[in-house]
A and B are shown apart, each in its own frame.
Chain A
Amino acid sequence: MKVFVVAGILVTFGALATFAQERTLNVGLDADPPNLDPALSSAFVDRQVQNQIYDKLVDINPKLKIIPMLATAWKVSDLGTTYTFTLRPNIKFHDGTPFDANVVKFNLERYMTLDTSRRKGELASIKEIKVLSPTSIQLNLKFPFAPLLAVLSDRSGMMVSPAAVAKFGKDFTNNPVGTGPFKFVERRRQDRIILENTNTYWDTANRPNFDKLVYRPFPDGDVRAANLLSGAIQVMTPIDPKDLKAIAENTRTELASIAGLGFQGIPLNTTKPPFNNKALRQAFAATLDREAIDRVVFQGSVTPAVTPFPPGSPAYTKFFQVNPPNLELAKKKLAEGNQPNGFSFTMLIATGTVNAQLAQLYQAFAKTANIDMKIEQIEFGTLLARADKKDFDALALGWSGRPDPDGNIFDFFVTGGVSNYSGYSNPRVDKLLQLARQTRDIVIRRDIYEDALENIVSDASYPITYFQKVNIGKLKTVDNLPLNPDGIMRFKSVKLN
């Protein structure tokens, strides 16, 4: 018996010793990333993991400037229809196969032609891909498309191993292979995704000093925060507004915040009453007290907004001010819309405490103008299905945001756009949004957007209410984690103390 006890103790110590040698960084996320294949991925949380496994042609820095990654340089023709990239030489995938121009061609063509690829829309401007040499590739566009580089700094620019795609086929998503600082080891559904430091990353100045990067999903915000505060995980995002203070004030943890790229708002269904009446949309929009939203629901952690361009966006303009609620205007618009005594509508919201608080606040705002707003809280899948069928009056919805302004406006306001839940259609706005995405000079683009926004804000098909911040909680022992407005944590430079 004694022998067993001693043996047991020795084994335990042995195990502890191995644990001590292996340095692991545990990251808490709000969901289990559904799909790690960039072609098939559509959830924001996927990008957290993908960005460690795959390199992209280009990246963006915290100031949203495009910076080199697998492409070291690029040239854009004067008309903006030809992009020529110089590629980094001597790069190998985690499976040992080389990266070159043919790989870029393979990847872009895969994203553009795979039957169920989610990247088709982003790359629709590409007409032809020409391999000039193993380290040089040219993209010829059908029309000038200013957001292209920004698109290539995200999933459409992620380079996956063609050999691994051929080997695993449909199962590539469960066996991802890239050229990034971490390689994929294992995933246990709803439990963890384990990545391993390759120790051979090309960016030698940015090699992580730990062995394993483990992502764990915690759908419950309380539990996620408790895990960080107890040290069971070292980094977490997102953070529920009520936990921000605890994480900022705890002696072991710290809070990092930066303005994000996304926005939240209220798509109003313009295809049926009551909101097919522009004056009634304007009346409801005039009741919104955006400062109160920030104060009451988010404890000062969001930024009140009226346009879809957050302060960090190159298209941000001071032209549109956040106005306090205007009851006079609301009443005038109600009369104009032939509903001087108010009207009633239902807002669909997804489950969750914050959503409910937000909706109750909207309800209270509407009440001030005698507008009776009912709240229907439904599960997210049902909400999306009803939004798709235009079976709603109003929704509370948002967008994670894209670095190029086009990604924050086009699909939401262009006639028939993929995310145009309101069913909004304004020929002038359509023309301006098309023009803006073909214009490369950002100053001119900003003017075009200003013009479009004047119509969009006034038409009130989708009143924007606030910009979210990117909030990351971490232990103080985690150093050098860059803070990027896109909310993606890039772990290659991180040092664990």
Chain B
Amino acid sequence: MLTFALRRLLYAIPTLLIVTIMVFSLVRILPGNPALLMLGEEASPELVAALNRDLGLDKPLYEQYFSWITKVFQGNLGESLRNNESITKVVLEKLPTTLELAFLAMLVALVLAIPAGIFTAVKRGGAADSAVTVLALSGISLPNFFLGVLLIYFFSVRLGWIPPSGYVTPAENLGQNLLLMLMPAVTLGTGTAGVLTRFLRGSMLEVLTQDFVRTARAKGVGAAGVIFGHALRNAFLPILTIFGLQLSALLSGAVITEQIFSIPGFGRLLVEAVATRDYPLLQGVVLLSSIAIFIVSFLVDILYASVDPRIRYQ
């Protein structure tokens, strides 16, 4: 187990190095010039040249890459082109917000998906199954930007129950924080809930036909015991994989959700970085997201063993 984990971590180093090179080059392939964007209405050629010099963008690309990557290894993501803020600081400030959103969205997804998945598997083929399936499919197909605006319209403008958008940190006011996060979490979580429901249903259906389930029933285990004690645990393995994959979907979904609800998280930062061609900021955000996705898939691999004792790591 430990050797497996260490080996996975070692493999990650070249992968992440390749990621840094890709991130660095992709960002620069984007058409547009940060100096031109920052200067906007006042972009005289002399000023553009002066600003490029000041930002170090006139240096050869390999030189820019090496100076960036050296800093990265020292734990410093550089400074934002826009206002000289430390990117490490900005990113660390925004990360918890998006993690909270992703966590709450996942919670919404699980709360909806687990009962729905079990229910549709057990009541397979009935009208209820079809109804839940339609709901799950609409959850998957309904785009974030539409559902978000719809929720704002009903709950904020029409009913006036929830403030339409904004953010306070949990430390400032936990109740207000959760209230404000409710609509974004639902917006973001419903898509994942739909996917999870479908997978859990399929996986449950398969498990419910297995011999050990029949044996359990024959031994006289009650319906609930069979479902929760035997079937669900086994049906959960594929779900874990999906769960890991969905986290990256949540991170990208957060980009849109945060934009709609004006949540100052990672996603808003990313949109801003692209729109202003803030290269170091964009590199920092994308690099950290890649690392986050790596960590999650790593943890999922480790978790397999605890969910399924048959899996042993060499």
A-side interface residues toward B, CB under 8 Å? 12, 15, 32, 34-35, 42-44, 115-116, 118, 120-121, 170-171, 173-174, 188-192, 216-220, 222-223, 226-227, 229-230, 232, 379-382, 384-386, 388, 399-400, 418-419
Contacts and interface: CB of A to CB of B under 8 A. Distances in A.
Contact of B272 (A32, A116, A400, A419): A32
Nearest to A226: B164
B40 interface: yes
Given A189-B90, A384-B43, 7 more contacts: A32-B272, A35-B83, A121-B44, A230-B156, A230-B163, A385-B31, A385-B33
A189 B269 contact: yes
A303 B272 CA distance: 32
Given A189-B264, A190-B264, A226-B164, A115 B93 contact: no
Contact of A226 (B54, B152, B167): B152
B195 interface: no
Interface in B24-48: 30-33, 36-44, 47
Contacts of A190: 94, 264, 268-269, 272
Contact of B32 (A192, A217, A382): A382
Nearest to B31: A382
21 contacts: A42-B41, A43-B40, A115-B54, A118-B39, A189-B90, A190-B268, A191-B167, A216-B166, A223-B152, A223-B262, A227-B163, A379-B32, A379-B274, A380-B275, A381-B30, A384-B43, A385-B33, A386-B31, A399-B41, A400-B41, A419-B41
Interface string B68-85: 000000000000001111
Contact of B157 (A173, A216, A229): A229
Question: Does more than half of chain B's interface fall in helix, strand or loop, or is it mixed?
Answer: helix
Contacts of B261: 223
Of B30, B38, B262, chain A has the most CB atoms within 10 Å of the CB of: B262
Contacts of A120: 47
Given A189-B269, A230-B163, A35 B264 contact: no
Contacts of B196: none
Given A116-B47, A226-B152, A385 B173 contact: no
Contact of B42 (A118, A171, A220, A223): A118
Nearest to A36: B83
Contacts, number: 134
Contacts of A116: 47, 50-51, 54
B110 to A, nearest CB: 27
Given A35-B83, A190-B264, A226 B36 contact: no
Contacts of B85: 174, 189
Contact of A381 (B37, B51, B153, B157): B37
Contacts of B260: 220, 223
Contacts of B167: 191
Interface string B247-289: 0000000000001111010001100101111000000000000
A384 B36 contact: yes
A167 to B, nearest CB: 14
Nearest to A42: B40
A38 to B, nearest CB: 12
Contact of B160 (A44, A171, A222, A230): A230
Interface in B157-171: 157, 160, 163-167
B117 to A, nearest CB: 33
B149 A222 contact: yes
A170 B84 contact: yes
A229 to B, nearest CB: 6
Contact of B50 (A115, A192, A219, A222): A115
Contacts of A219: 259, 262
A232 B31 contact: no
Nearest to A33: B83
Nearest to A37: B83
A226 B31 CA distance: 34
Contacts of B175: 12
Of B51, B165, B167, chain A has the most CB atoms within 10 Å of the CB of: B165
A419 B39 CA distance: 11
A414 to B, nearest CB: 12
B82 A34 contact: yes
Contacts of B153: 226
A218 B269 CA distance: 13
B264 A15 contact: no
A211 B44 CA distance: 40
A42 B272 contact: no
Nearest to A386: B31
B254 to A, nearest CB: 13
Contacts of B272: 32, 189-190
A380 B37 CA distance: 9
Contacts of B33: 381, 384-385, 388
Contacts of A188: 93, 264
A381 B167 CA distance: 28
A116 B43 CA distance: 11
Of B42, B94, B261, chain A has the most CB atoms within 10 Å of the CB of: B42
A381 B164 contact: no
Contact of B43 (A192, A226, A400, A418): A418
Interface in B139-194: 149, 152-153, 156-157, 160, 163-167, 173, 175
A173 B38 CA distance: 14
Contacts of A380: 37, 275
Given A170-B84, A174-B84, A222-B149, A191 B264 contact: yes
Contact of A384 (B32, B149, B157, B269): B32
Contacts of B42: 42, 118, 121, 418
B32 A226 contact: no
A173 B80 CA distance: 12
Given A32-B272, A34-B83, A42-B42, A216 B262 contact: yes
Question: Which 4 residue pairs of A and B lie closest in terms of their CB atoms, listed nearest first?
Answer: A191-B264, A381-B32, A226-B164, A190-B264
B157 A34 contact: no
Nearest to B153: A226
Of A32, A121, A189, A382, chain B has the most CB atoms within 10 Å of the CB of: A189
A211 to B, nearest CB: 17
A101 B85 CA distance: 32
A88 B226 CA distance: 84
Contacts of B51: 116
A218 B272 CA distance: 12
A289 B288 CA distance: 51
A220 B259 contact: yes
Contacts of B268: 190
A170 B83 CA distance: 8
Contact of A42 (B38, B160, B173, B274): B38
Contacts of A189: 85, 90, 93-94, 264, 269, 272
A191 B90 CA distance: 12
